[in-house]
Amino acid sequence: GSHSQLEDMAPRIVEHPTDVLVSKGEPATLSCKAEGRPAPVVEWYKDGERVETDREDPRSHRTLLPGGSLFFLRILHGRRGKPDEGVYVCVARNYLGEASSRNASLEVAGE
């Protein structure tokens, strides 16, 4: 191949999410930006479980933004639970490997 060919690179996280405190019903964003070649696929995990976004469920209130950040249209919080509260981590993968962000906690502000 020619030397102008860019080499593939394993993913790395260039912007990590930070802890957020949100009022229920308000929107929130957990930032994440990853680099790699080919461009890595970003997934989010909450307390170790994969987070479903509007890509799997069009009715989801969580959207995966093009850069990899996770956007909540509104934070869900009911008497029966706090489904959005927890510890989130962003994982970027391509065929060369994967990279995980730091943990970020999302907390819902008191009633």
Domain count, the chain: 1
Taken in order 61, 70, 36, 103, the sign of the CA dihedral is negative
Q: Is residue 4 part of a domain?
A: no
Over residues 41-55, the pLDDT tens digits come to 999 999 999 999 998
pLDDT score of 75 more than 80: yes
pLDDT score of 67 more than 60: yes
Q: Is residue 93 part of a domain?
A: yes
Q: Is residue 36 part of a domain?
A: yes
Q: Is residue 3 part of a domain?
A: no
Over residues 80-97, the pLDDT tens digits come to 888 999 999 999 999 999
Q: Residue 78 has which token pair? A: 């009911």
Q: Is residue 40 part of a domain?
A: yes
CATH number at residue 81: 2.60.40.10
Q: Stretch 70-82: mean pLDDT, rounded?
A: 89
Q: Is residue 91 part of a domain?
A: yes
The residues near 100 (Cβ < 8 Å, ≥ 6 apart) are 13, 89, 90, 91
Helix (H, G, I), strand (E, B) or coil at 38: coil
Are 30 and 88 spatial neighbours (Cβ–Cβ below 8 Å)? Answer: yes
Q: Is residue 69 part of a domain?
A: yes
Q: Stretch 23-52: mean pLDDT, rounded?
A: 96
Average pLDDT, the chain: 93
Domain span including residue 65? 9-108
DSSP string, 49-97: EEPP-TTT-TT-SEEE-TTS-EEESS---BTTB-TT-EEEEEEEEETTE
DSSP letter (8 states) at residue 19? -
- What is residue 13's predicted lDDT score, i.e. its pLDDT? 98
List the one residue out of 33, 9, 30, 12 whose CA is nearest residue 21: 30
- What is residue 79's predicted lDDT score, i.e. its pLDDT? 81
